[in-house]
Amino acid sequence: MAENFTHLDAEGNPAMVDVSGKAVTLRTAVAQCKIDLPEVVANQFSGDDLVTKKGSVIQTAILAGIMAAKQTSTLIPLCHPLGLEDCQVRIDRTAPDVLTISCTARITGKTGVEMEALTGASVAALTIYDMCKAFSHDIVIRDLRLIKKTGGKRDVDKENT
């Protein structure tokens, strides 16, 4: 792990990390979060989806997550603008009152896509909250974390932890 913050220059000012000397490799990241649904919201689901006046909650959240991942550098100041080669958002009902969101981002490049995967998962969750808040504001978004990262200096795999 780095001993210093990577986004600070020698004087301690914010700086974008210089990736010009890094090797181009296939880089993948998987992020995940969970949403706890109060009973009044969970009961609105028919199978694996909930359709509101705004449309399909799950389908809309998937699209929002993909769109957000593609816009990460406009949201997080020191992220490099990336042309993602692949982004997949999956939303599963893992318990009657829990949704699990996974976002996988992929690029062949000089910098990782962890922030894109994390942004995709979090915005998908926020979209579900937005579309379901008419039923209850007791929705809880929790456990946003990086699950897996490949490519670059070191891989990370927390899938089984």
Structure tokens at 87: 């982004």
Q: Give per-residue pLDDT as tens, 76-100.
A: 999 999 999 999 999 999 999 999 9
Question: Could you give the residue numbers annotated as active site?
Answer: 130
Hunting for tokens 């958002």 — which residue is that? 89
**What's the rounded Cα separation, in Å, for the pair 97 and 64?**
22
Q: Give per-residue pLDDT as tens, 22-58.
A: 889 999 999 999 999 999 999 998 877 888 777 899 9
Q: Taking a C-beta distance cutoff of 8 angstroms, is the pair 136, 38 a contact?
A: yes
Q: Looking at residue 2, what is its pLDDT?
A: 52
Residues forming beta bridges with residue 91, ordered by sequence position: 101
Query: Of 136, 130, 133, 157, whose CA–CA distance to 146 is shortest?
Result: 157
**What's the rounded Cα separation, in Å, for the pair 69 and 82?**
10
Hunting for tokens 């959240």 — which residue is that? 61
Hunting for tokens 């909250």 — which residue is that? 129
